[in-house]
A and B are shown apart, each in its own frame.
Chain A
Amino acid sequence: MNAVHRPSQAGAVSTAPILRTQNLTVRFDEFPAVRDVDLSIADGELRVIIGANGAGKSTLLDLLCGKTLPSEGEIWLRDRNITGIGEAAIARSGVGRKFQTPTVFKDMTVLENLQVASNRRVRVFENLFERVKGRPSDKEVAVAERTGLLGSMKRKASELSHGQLQWLELAMVLSQEPKIILLDEPAAGMTAAETDKTAELLLDLAGGHTVLVIEHDMAFVRRICRTITVMHQGAVLAEGTAEEIERNPAVIEAYLGSATLSHA
């Protein structure tokens, strides 16, 4: 397809990045919401993106999962150019997205939600004569256990608490068996106990999965993170460990006057 255009710079690192963007830019009415972002996420990495409101973090995730089409630039998943191939095709190629406000199938049970998510034969005619099982598969039990939903399998999603909804969406994304998981503020609106559990869950995921997280809460970020990418006015401002970021003069300057880093 577009393989001809494949840039050759990737070979420099020993482990080729699983996700890579090049000059990724999107403009809304000429206003650049995301500018020239070159992101490179290694296999198995847990990366956190921070930045003030309006820095372009969520828009970046929207670009990666196909919700928004980039004005310029390319997105590569391993050696496949997934720019502009559509949300469903991007999802099938291995990108899983969890939104800030949980989007799940409210009128369906937890089990049904997981079944829809874990079904990897997605075409109409593949599903025409397929029956649905009344009890969870081993895989569905495993993912429910991991996210603490095993006791709620038969409950409707609309009956779950906010924290449980967040975990259900995460469980659905996990059921997709994605190559990379995009999480938009996974601990938003959670109680302290739920936040703790979410942090544990993310650390548990890291290693086995490649995860890209947007987060506001710096305490939470310090807990889960190795590499942080700071976004400011649509562009990448800095990249490094938590200590490096907090010492970085550009980052400090960008946050001066508005808010301190811990509240960013």
Chain B
Amino acid sequence: MTYRTASIIAYIAFFAVVLALPLVLNSFWTNRVAIYLVYSICAIGISMSWGYAGILSLGQGLFFGMGAYMLAMSLTLAVPENNPVPQLMLLNMEPNAVRDLCCVTTGSFLWIPFRSVAVGMIAGIVVPCILAAAIGYVMFKRRTTGVYVSIITLAFAVIGQLLIINNQPLTGGFNGLADLALLEIGGFEFDPYGPSAYYAVALTLIAVILLARYMLTGRIGQVLKAIREDEARARYLGYDVENYKLFIFCVSAGVAGLAGMLFTVTSEFATPSLMATSLSISMVIWAATGGRASLLGACIGALIVNFVGSLASESATFQPVWPIILGLLFVVVVLFMPNGIAGIFKAFIDRPGKAERLGGAKLSGKTERPDKADLLVKSELSAREA
């Protein structure tokens, strides 16, 4: 079996398991796994930018959090008691302020468009994208690379979190936005503990994986990989490296924003902790564990780490040391299995001693085609000449 065939089987098996899980899970676990799948979408975003383009963002939580807040604002306003003005603003307003969204607190007019849930849903993707475009433009045009990108993105996430916390009258501050309405689209309500929200997450995850895979196995993925390998060479071949980086950074932010919205749907809250450094770094650990250059690997990494983490949090012994375990896991992965679980899978499929040693099939990892035969003969000949 070639690696390509094996990975297609792995994808199909994963999709099948994800789609079948609610049949066997109770409502508590349906909700838990739905949240893990949300984290999987985050890990895919990391895999796209870090795994494929070498851009290690440690501020992915900023985009995740923005996505979550955008939808949470709409779902706050969807609660009847929060009209015309959300409770959190009434608690924080000046005594004689006008009780209207336009001016009840400083900046409260920013909430006005979010009376429409559709706006919230679109903003959940678009706002992180725009934010990433602005940050990315500054970074990449100045040719910031490597660890500096990580530091800058981390700094922006910290700034974002502080802005949310410090503007309590506008954002709910440290408590964030809770007591949200359920997401309702066209009269259909997404129950976070039922299969509806679960399938919204699962189907989004599958769509994101398929789209990302389609894109990254195409020309753009090849160019991104080339940029990751040698940025200067890509430039001397005529590629505007900055634009490619900016593109994948924005797409990755959009994916994180989408995941953030689904987090709001499944968790019914948005807090500044979503932008915490620890969560951003956790996302990187999920992707690294699963295999950063593999979309499915990153996905599975997020599921496994979060599942084990949740088991650990129920044990009095493991709960306090879980962050340490997570840190050690990252060190072990980076040192000993740089391609994570996906790398082990690939090594197993490609292991030596397997029957397929003929021709280019093994090297290419692709199925043999008849028209390649004459090329192989040709290459044999030219190899002998050399």
Contacts of A109 in B (CB 8 A): 363-364
Is B360's CB under 8 angstroms from A124's CB?
no
The chain B residue with its CB closest to the CB of A119 is: B219
Stretch from B111-119, B220-228, B322-330 that touches the partner: B220-228
Is A104's CB under 8 angstroms from B379's CB?
no
Contacts of A128 in B (CB 8 A): 215, 218, 220
A148–B238 Cα distance when bound, in Å, is 25
Is A103's CB under 8 angstroms from B379's CB?
no
Contact of B223 among A127, A131, A145 (CB under 8 A): A127
Min CB distance B42 to A, Å, is 23
Contacts of B23 in A (CB 8 A): none
Within 193-233 of B, Cβ neighbours of A (below 8 Å) are at 215, 217-223, 225-226, 229-230, 232-233
Stretch from B97-105, B254-262, B295-303, B369-377 that touches the partner: B369-377
Is A134's CB under 8 angstroms from B218's CB?
no
Is B238's CB under 8 angstroms from A176's CB?
yes
Contacts of A124 in B (CB 8 A): 220, 240, 243-244, 247
Is A105's CB under 8 angstroms from B236's CB?
no
Is B229's CB under 8 angstroms from A108's CB?
yes
A111–B383 Cα distance when bound, in Å, is 16
Min CB distance B288 to A, Å, is 17
The chain A residue with its CB closest to the CB of B222 is: A132
A92 at the interface (CB under 8 A from B): yes
The 8 A CB mask of A96-134 against B (1 = contact, 0 = none) is: 110000011111110011011101101110011111101
A135–B230 Cα distance when bound, in Å, is 23
Contact of B230 among A103, A120, A150, A155 (CB under 8 A): A103
A154 at the interface (CB under 8 A from B): yes
Min CB distance A171 to B, Å, is 12
Min CB distance A158 to B, Å, is 10
How many chain B residues touch the partner (CB < 8 A)?
39
Min CB distance B117 to A, Å, is 30
B239 at the interface (CB under 8 A from A): yes
A153–B215 Cα distance when bound, in Å, is 24
A87 at the interface (CB under 8 A from B): yes
Is A87's CB under 8 angstroms from B235's CB?
yes
A222–B239 Cα distance when bound, in Å, is 36
Is B222's CB under 8 angstroms from A115's CB?
yes
A82 at the interface (CB under 8 A from B): no
Contacts of A259 in B (CB 8 A): none
Is A130's CB under 8 angstroms from B240's CB?
no
A172–B226 Cα distance when bound, in Å, is 13
B308 at the interface (CB under 8 A from A): no
Given A116-B223, A124-B244, A88-B235 contact (CB < 8 Å): yes
A161–B65 Cα distance when bound, in Å, is 48
Min CB distance A220 to B, Å, is 20
Is A105's CB under 8 angstroms from B382's CB?
no
A213 at the interface (CB under 8 A from B): no
The chain A residue with its CB closest to the CB of B243 is: A124
Contacts of A105 in B (CB 8 A): 225-226, 229-230, 233
A150–B372 Cα distance when bound, in Å, is 13
Min CB distance B93 to A, Å, is 46
A91 at the interface (CB under 8 A from B): yes
B386 at the interface (CB under 8 A from A): yes
Given A106-B229, A151-B382, A116-B235 contact (CB < 8 Å): no
Of residues B217, B219, B372, which shows the largest number of chain A Cβ atoms within 10 Å of its Cβ? B219
Is A127's CB under 8 angstroms from B386's CB?
no
Contact of A151 among B223, B235, B379 (CB under 8 A): B379
Contacts of A120 in B (CB 8 A): 238
Min CB distance A145 to B, Å, is 7
Is A87's CB under 8 angstroms from B236's CB?
yes
The chain B residue with its CB closest to the CB of A98 is: B236
Beyond the given A116-B237, A123-B240, please list 15 additional residue pairs across the A-B interface where CB-CB is below 8 A. A65-B236, A67-B232, A87-B232, A91-B238, A96-B236, A103-B230, A108-B222, A112-B225, A122-B240, A127-B220, A128-B220, A129-B218, A135-B375, A152-B383, A172-B237
- Name 9 A/B residue pairs within 8 A (Cβ), A-sorted: A65-B236, A87-B232, A104-B233, A112-B222, A119-B223, A131-B219, A134-B366, A135-B375, A154-B360
| Shortest beta-carbon contacts, A-B, top 8 | A151-B383, A151-B379, A130-B219, A91-B238, A105-B229, A127-B219, A92-B238, A87-B235
